Each structure stands twice: as structure tokens, then as C-alpha cells.
Structure 1
Amino acid sequence: MDYITSTAALSLLLGGLGVFGLFRLLQWMRMKAYLRSAVVVITGATSGLGRECAKAFHAAGAKLVLCGRNVEALEELTRELAASPASQGKTHRPLTVAFDLADPESIAPAAARILQCFGHVDILVNNAGISYRGTIADTKVDVDRRVMEINYFGPVALTKALLPSMVTRRQGHIVAISSVQGKISIPFRSAYMDKNTAQGRSPAEVAQEVLAAVRKKKKDVVVADLVPSLAIYLRTLAPRVFFSIMASRARKERKPKNS
């Protein structure tokens, strides 16, 4: 009786694992199919993370609308993607829309051109942004305004311009990309965060993380190494300790300047 019971339990376990494995396979296939032929708009597509995101989403089979200020750079990227091995018969040729996020008057016309490319937008990747390094006392308000215009108001305006079409179709995915330093206070990043790609993940690695997050439709993803990840938790759980460490770091960074 014990043998029969154990065999039955094992069969049920293996059967459950089989069902779970099948479920995971179907889920993976569904996530992979989600991006195939999806219309993906990427801002700031000509350099850094935006460029790598363009490569990643293009290889996944998405229909890309690449956005940026430099027409020549956008066309060069389009040619590069079209000539890539991933393009052999299974991808779509990217389209481009050039405009400046810092110009509020250009955003509505740009959104209209974006919608004309494929008739709709499935995924908007708000990637474009600028960085700045400096103390609060030395940073002019004009710098703060420009950073906010490009990094906040521009993406918000573009999102609002494309949102009605998503609501009408009852389908849409909006991705907001920012530095992990937006979650914590770092010395000398008064207006926005300095880019330290040499000390962190490469743009290609982060692009794959973005692609995976979109496929899985995750709500919030932190892509960072151990120390920045711990800093986020420390900022939340022990803010006094966190700010004490940051103050010490600020003093150390300022010393060479005053010596």
C-alpha cells in the first residue's frame, strides 16, 4: 500500500511538473510573440542605450520607429539595422521621425508622424535624456529648466500625444527609462545624474534587460550591480545611515578640488 501510494504521489508530482513546464513554455512563446511585429517607438535612438535598444527590439522582430534630433544619425542607424544578420527575412525595416524633445511645439507634429508610420503604437520607450554634473550652488536655473524639459516634460508630452490612440485600441505599453540614481541621492548630481557606464552595466546588457522586462510586462525593474541595489534598500530602510554615507562621499569628492 505504501509503495502504491508513493508511486501515485510521484506520478502526480511529475504530472504537475509537466503541466508547469508546459505552462512556462506557452508563457515564453506568448512573450516572444508579443514583440514580433509590435510597433515600438524609441526616443534618443541614435546613441548609447537607445541605440542598443533599437538593435535588441529589431532583432526581436519589432516594427521600429526611431526618434532623435539628428536625421543623418537616424538614417545611418536604419542602414546598419537593415544590414544586420538579424534582418535576413524576419525583421521589418525601421522608420525614423526626427524632432527635438526640448522644443514643445515639435512634439504634437512628431507624434502625428509617428502614428502615420504604421497606423498605431504598441510600445513607447521614453529613453532620450541628457545628463549634468555639478553642485546645486553652481548650477544655473537655465540648466535645471533644460534638463527638465528634455528628461521630463518632453517625454510626458509625447506620451500624452500618443496615449489616445492606445486608449482607443485598448492596448499599449509605455516604458520610462531613467538612471538608478533617480532613486537615490548622489553628490554633485544636482540637476540630473552623471553617466558612469564604465562603472556600471554596458548599454547592450541594459538593452537586453529592457527587452526582457517589456516581454514580461514588468511594472518596475532596477538594473544595477550589488552596491547601487543595496543603496536603494538602504535609502528606504535606513535613510539616516544612507545620507551619512553620501555626505562622507561628498566630502571626499570635494577634497581634490580644494587642495
Structure 2
Amino acid sequence: MNFDHKVIWITGASSGIGKSLAIELSKKSTKLILSSRNESKLNEVKKKCKNQENIKILPLDLEDYNSLINKTKEAIVLFGKIDVLFNNGGISQRSLAKDTTIAVDKKIMDINYLGTVALTKALLPYFIQQNSGVFVVTTSIVGKIGTPLRSSYAASKHALHGFFDSLRAEVYSNNIKVTLACPGFVQTNVSINALTGDGTPQNKMDNATNNGLTSVAFSKKLLKAVKKEKQEVYIGGFKEKLAVYVKRFFPKLLAKMIRKMAVT
């Protein structure tokens, strides 16, 4: 996998990991399509990129997943093709399951799962027709391990693993690749924007998030993994990555460790 001369579409590109991916990829001979809900922030990101003449802005809302077929048609027209889709847009949660309304569960699932799947399905026929394409999906370590205060978020990320593992097998003969990227703690606004039980944002940074990898460091590691056509990659601190393997080989031990985590 080589990024040179590729047309790359990034969702969630207005901040955090998506912003860092855009800046890093703009240094290469690529063409970029940057998407999120916030057009003004997308334009700010574009100004921080190299080779701005090779960057287009396409606002979209993953929660409005019925609009994504038309958005995909618009995206293809911008440069005449698409080679890679970074499914990076999403929203997190900070609330106990007992305190979380079903409306919040639905909103998180609509954005993180259905929005991502709808965009992928909208682009999939085009990838099949050109007999090539790459889907990169930002899930989470929580997509492998459920933890307190993340029940809805973990559910949405677990669902992405199920969908994209199945899709990878289905489109193998069409030369379409799928990389699932599982971040640990990364220094972004994910915890600030995370929804609480009634749907309002948390509006504060978690200590663990604040002490995590920088989004720049994460993005560089992710691009290396995509270049190597990794099927799944865990990018984070030692403890976060270790937890994935502890669950695999010692699930009861991990369950005991998870129960001791702070829930306030």
C-alpha cells in the first residue's frame, strides 16, 4: 500500500486524529477530501496542511446517514476517484449504563456505527467496480474491551469490529483492504465532547486522555500500519495494549481488573 497519488477521504477531519491524519498525508503526493459537520474548522485544518490546492472540503453529518449516498457521489466527483476512506468520525460517552437514556444509546450508535456503515456501503460499489480500495476504521481499545462509563460507546465500537471483519472476508477477491485501528488514550477532544447520561457533553478533559499519545504520534503509527496492510492494530500505551492480550488469554483476570476501575 502506497499513499502516493491516492485520493484519500477522511471523516472526523476537523480535529484530533482526523486533523493530524490530514496534515501528515498532505505532505505526500496525495489528494485529500476532508469531512466533518463543522465546515469552518475543516477550512482551518486545510490552512495548516501542505499542498492546499490538492485538498477539498465536504461537510457531512454521520448521524444523518440517509444523506450519505449523495455525499459519496459528491466526494467521487471532487477528484474523479477515491482510493482510501478513513472512517474516523465518531463520538464518545462518559456515564454509567443505569444513568444513560436510550436516546443517548441511539445517538451514539447512529453516529459511530450506522453512520460509518452507511458511508462505507455508499462507497463500496465504487470500490468493487474499480477492483481496489482501502477502508480504515478508527474504533477503540474499548472496541475489544468494555470498561465502566463506556457501555454505549463500547457497544458501537464492538459492532464496527463485527461488521468490518465480515466485510473484509466478503471483499477480499475484489482487492479491497480493511484496517481496524484501535486507539488507546490519545490527546484529543474526545472526552470533552463525550456525551453524559442525558446527552449533554462532559465538557472536561479526562486525565488519562490528557496523558495519552499525541494525535500526531498516533497518526504516524496508523499510517505505517495501513501501509503494511495490517488487518487490526492497537495503538496506545503499554497497559492499554496489554489489556487486549490479557482478555484473550486470561479473561477472568481482566474482568477482575476492570471491576476495580474508578467509575466516577
Name the TM tier (shorter chain): 0.7 to 0.9
Which region of structure 1 is more displaced relative to structure 2, 151-160 or 91-100? 91-100
Q: Say which structure is richer in strand.
A: 2
| Corresponding position of 1:127 | 88
- Cα separation, 1, equivalents of 2:53 and 2:220: 19
- Cα separation, 1, equivalents of 2:139 and 2:28: 23
Q: How far 1:73 moved relative to its partner?
A: 1.4
- Cα separation, 1, equivalents of 2:3 and 2:209: 27
Aligned residues: percent identity?
33
1:86-142: CA deviations, max 9, x gaps?
x3xxx7520011111101232111111101111111000000000111111001111
| Corresponding position of 1:69 | 37
| Corresponding position of 2:46 | 78
Partner of 2:210: helix, strand, or coil? coil
Is residue 149 of structure 2 the alignment partner of residue 137 of structure 1?
Answer: no
Q: Say which structure is richer in helix.
A: 1
1:132-171: CA deviations, max 9, x gaps?
1111100111101000111010010001111111111101
| Corresponding position of 2:240 | 228
Aligned match for 1:164, one of 121, 125, 150: 125
- Cα separation, 2, equivalents of 1:38 and 1:198: 33
Is residue 110 of structure 2 the alignment partner of residue 149 of structure 1?
Answer: yes
Q: For structure 1, which runs of at least 5 residues remain unmatched after alignment?
A: 1-30
Contact 2:23/2:48 (<8 A) preserved: no
| Corresponding position of 1:206 | 218
Aligned-CA RMSD value: 1.6
Aligned match for 1:243, one of 241, 251, 255: 255
Q: How far 1:189 moved relative to its partner?
A: 1.2
- How many residues are matched? 213
Partner of 1:116: helix, strand, or coil? helix
- Cα separation, 1, equivalents of 2:120 and 2:7: 15
| Corresponding position of 1:104 | 65
* Equivalent residue letter for 1:162: L
| Corresponding position of 1:4 | none
| Corresponding position of 2:176 | none
